[in-house]
Amino acid sequence: MIFALIGNQNCGKTTLFNLLTGSNQHVGNFPGVTVEQKSGAVRGMDDCLVVDLPGIYSLRPYSSEEVVTRDFLLNSKPDAIINIIDATNIERSLYLSLQLMEMHIPMVLVLNMMDEVIGNGGSIDIKLLSQKLGIPVAPISAANNTGIDQMLETVIDTAQKRIYPSVTDFCEPGPVHRCIHAVALQVEDHAAREGMPARFAATKVIENDTDIVKRLALNQNELELIEHSAAEMEQECGMDRNAAMADMRYNFIEQACRDTVIRVGESKEFQRSLRIDRVLTGRYTALPIFLGVMLLIFWLTFGLIGGTLADWLAVGIDMLTAFIDRGLTNYGINPVVHSMIIDGICTGVGSVLSFLPLIVVLFFFLSILEDTGYMARVAFFMDKPMRKIGLSGRSIAPMIIGFGCSVPAIMASRTLSSRRDRIVTILLIPYMSCSAKIPVYAIFAAAFCPDYAAIVMMILYVSGILLGIIAALLLKKLGAKEVTVPFIMELPNYRMPSSKSVLLLMWSKAKDFLERAFTVIFVATLIIWFLQTFDLHLNVAIAGDSILARIGRWLVPLFTPLGFGDWRIVTSLIAGFTAKEALVSTMGVLLGTGMADLPAALSSLFTPLSAASMLVFTLLYTPCVATIAVIRQELGTRRAAIGVVIMQCGVAWVMAWLVYHIGGLL
Amino acid sequence: MTLNQLTAGESAIVTKVGGEDMLRCRLLDMGVIPKTHIYVRKVAPMGDPMEINLRGYTLTLRLEDAKRIEVRREEPTA
């Protein structure tokens, strides 16, 4: 049996999904769109599959999330719908439920957060509500894990006995009622052919869901008749059709709730949220606290926790590598194969794994921010400045994470509600200078202006941000015609996150990254190893004669105008493609100096001006291969990812050129 | 008057929901329909967007979009 789990955002849907399925979850994408689809078998019941559909408020075809849900229900015909709602916010939540009930699929209404309702002295008459809505109702508390077994029993029972919603008529006799029934009769046979319930088809046609209208294949005559009915309804109601339909649904809900729901004033959770918000979104406190929180997360992720974990992991990998190294040497294996295993495979695996602690730790904090409801507040008070560059407040978090590492930053952009915002955010993230570039800045600062290292760093970061803003403004200009998604967002009450949800999210992000990025990063590292090891005749190269060095030499003319046309620097830049850290180490190898003497060697190779040009180029040129792998995954096409690489390199070249030449005039 | 003209702490009743396609439908879906009571909780630190309470929950929307919602101010019942 297949169950579709549907609900609003912030209603505890994910918590329930995790309770039902445990860790046997499968994460994928819906075909053709980058909307995440999670599914998993119910624990202890391998024949019951739960599909977690995106959090939505309505079935209108405006966002890909809504279309995906509608099409899943129409095409896959699940055995039952589990519609979870926030019982403390029942009126607004039932709006989606009424639309689901029209789909003629066995359905159970799950009232989550019943503990909060009761804790505040309120109550909901489950039996009467179930009678009024014509579907079974199950009260639960996902956070406290109560009522789940009974709920599951009800769901299975409803699905097995195929108990369809018994109330499908939500309107009182009147113009809306007449219109829906007239249209339902007109589209009945068309809908039947498409396997669509007539009432659902009728409301969608009245609401002008073009996709459904097309599917029903109505002829001109029928369309005119329907238009006539709708126009008549509009006139009689004194409202247009969309308002009339919404009004009809909310009227029904108000009536159903009047006799069944007792609510006592403002809840404790609501009042607590108000108190917290006085500080967290307060006029003078909002921004400083937000910056403080982000700095703390950064310090913990890249310093204290993630950094330590990454160091341990590096030690582990080094030990393993040394072990393999010894084994291979003792075995007397061919030196080239030896190098391939040690310098190619082990380095490749190591570089993939080195990202893992950062991703896991960062997503630990992010999911806490998201689940508590703080992220929504950040979006709330950061919306105004972000809108100036054509984005919404929701984009701020991924961008800031970009200062740490672009990989989790791009992965985090998935929470953005519109595809356009997601694309623009992903394009801008590479402008936020990631932490792997710090060694490059540090070594140049040490070589040229050791006393002003901090200022050099500041200038680089700020230039990155400024260029990002310019790029965003350009994108805004170019994409002006595109429909912007209105920023209308619920601010949920602050809640304690469930540790289980946080842990499962970390696990799924880590798995996601390993599964999808592994091959790309691994293959890229092997290719670079190959190019570094062999010369053009596929003999083992002496340093400076490898294919990579040849390519570096060949590309030198391209970099001469930027002031650093030295093949060793160019080759290092290419090596930096695998990971920015590799840039410095490759320079060390090619210049034949150790790390300690590198600054001295650099100061003989660069003038201060060409060094500045080089730093600007490093700041802006192609992101590392891991970033490109996730960009490809999130944007969905290889072409888009290659486009990003070319665009970044182009911008880097132009900016470095400007720095070198304008700086030369001064 | 329109919703964006209210200041924090004021209440109103929605009389008409304007706006086009997506904005309008989204407002309607979120329960902003004629006859709904709205309480303006606060305006974001930088002056936009605003935070409102309706139907027992909290919603945020931009002033530009709030301009499309016509309301009648409710005098506070002392």
Could you report the per-residue pLDDT of A611-655, keeping only the tens digit for each? 999 999 999 998 888 899 889 888 888 898 999 999 999 999 999
Residue B33: list chain A partners with CB under 8 A: 243, 246-247, 250
Residue A541 structure tokens: 């190269």
**Co-location of A68 and A129 in the same domain:** yes
**Co-location of A131 and A186 in the same domain:** no
Q: What is the pLDDT of residue A32?
A: 62
Residue A493: list chain B partners with CB under 8 A: 58
**Co-location of A110 and A187 in the same domain:** no
On whether residue A150 sits in a domain, the answer given is yes
At a CB cut-off of 8 Å and minimum separation 6, what does A43 contact?
A20, A21, A22, A24
On whether residue A96 sits in a domain, the answer given is yes
CATH of the domain at A221: 1.10.287.1770
Among residues A235, A262, A289, the one where a domain terminates is A262
Q: Where are the domains positioned within chain B?
A: 3-74
Tell me the average pLDDT of chain A. Answer: 88
- A387/A485 Cα distance (integer angstroms): 12
On whether residue A198 sits in a domain, the answer given is yes
For residue A7, give the 3-state DSSP assignment.
strand
Residue B8: list chain A partners with CB under 8 A: none
Q: What is the pLDDT of residue A380?
A: 93
On whether residue A538 sits in a domain, the answer given is yes
Question: Hunting for tokens 């992965």 — which residue is that?
Answer: A411
The B-side interface with A (CB below 8 A) comprises 17, 21-31, 33-34, 41-42, 44-49, 51, 55-62, 65
**Co-location of A109 and A252 in the same domain:** no
**Co-location of A646 and A587 in the same domain:** yes
Residue A274: list chain B partners with CB under 8 A: 41
Nearest-10 Cα torsion for B65, B68, B74, B76: 20
Into how many domains does chain A fold? 3
Q: What is the pLDDT of residue A40?
A: 92
Report whether A229 contacts A183 (CB < 8 A).
Answer: yes
Residue A251 structure tokens: 């009227």
Find the CB nearest A488 among B44, B47, B61.
B61
Find the CB nearest B45 among A89, A91, A381.
A381
- B31/A95 Cα distance (integer angstroms): 8
Low-confidence ranges of chain B (pLDDT < 50): none
Q: What is the pLDDT of residue A332?
A: 86
Q: What is the pLDDT of residue A466?
A: 93
Question: How many A×B Cβ pairs under 8 Å?
Answer: 110
Q: What is the pLDDT of residue A25?
A: 78
Q: Decide if A488 and B23 are in contact by the 8 Å CB cutoff.
A: yes
Angle subtended at Cα A540 by Cα A534 and Cα A543, rounded to the nearest 5 degrees: 80
On whether residue A616 sits in a domain, the answer given is yes
- A628/A613 Cα distance (integer angstroms): 24
Please choose, from the candidates A392, A427, A389, A383, the residue with its C-alpha nearest in 3D space to the C-alpha of residue A409.
Answer: A427
Question: Hunting for tokens 């700041």 — which residue is that?
Answer: A619
Please give the model's pTM, rounded to 2 decimal places.
Answer: 0.84
Q: Decide if B59 and A385 are in contact by the 8 Å CB cutoff.
A: no
**Co-location of A126 and A37 in the same domain:** yes
- A400/A417 Cα distance (integer angstroms): 18
On whether residue A477 sits in a domain, the answer given is no
Task: Give the H or E element holding residue B12.
Answer: strand B11-17
Q: Decide if B44 and A281 are in contact by the 8 Å CB cutoff.
A: yes
Find the CB nearest B49 among A246, A287, A380.
A380
Could you report the per-residue pLDDT of A494-505, keeping only the tens digit for each? 998 888 888 888
**Co-location of A76 and A204 in the same domain:** no
Find the CB nearest B26 among A92, A284, A488.
A488
**Co-location of A528 and A654 in the same domain:** yes
Find the CB nearest B31 among A250, A274, A277.
A250
Q: Decide if B49 and A385 are in contact by the 8 Å CB cutoff.
A: no
The amino acid at A230: A
**Co-location of A184 and A127 in the same domain:** no
Question: Hunting for tokens 């040497």 — which residue is that?
Answer: A329
**Co-location of A585 and A648 in the same domain:** yes
Structural domain boundaries enclosing A589: 524-665
Low-confidence ranges of chain A (pLDDT < 50): none
**Co-location of A564 and A660 in the same domain:** yes
Q: Decide if B33 and A487 are in contact by the 8 Å CB cutoff.
A: no
Angle between helices B21-29 and A241-258 (to 10 degrees): 10
Could you report the per-residue pLDDT of A130-154, keeping only the tens digit for each? 999 999 999 999 989 999 999 999 9
At a CB cut-off of 8 Å and minimum separation 6, what does A16 contact?
A5, A82, A84, A110, A112, A140, A142, A148
Q: Decide if B51 and A263 are in contact by the 8 Å CB cutoff.
A: no
CB atoms within 10 A of CB A133: 23
Can you say whether the dihedral through the CA atoms of A385, A389, A392, A398 is positive or negative? negative
Q: What is the pLDDT of residue A391?
A: 86
Q: What is the pLDDT of residue A10?
A: 87
CATH topology classification for B3-74: SH3 type barrels. (2.30.30)
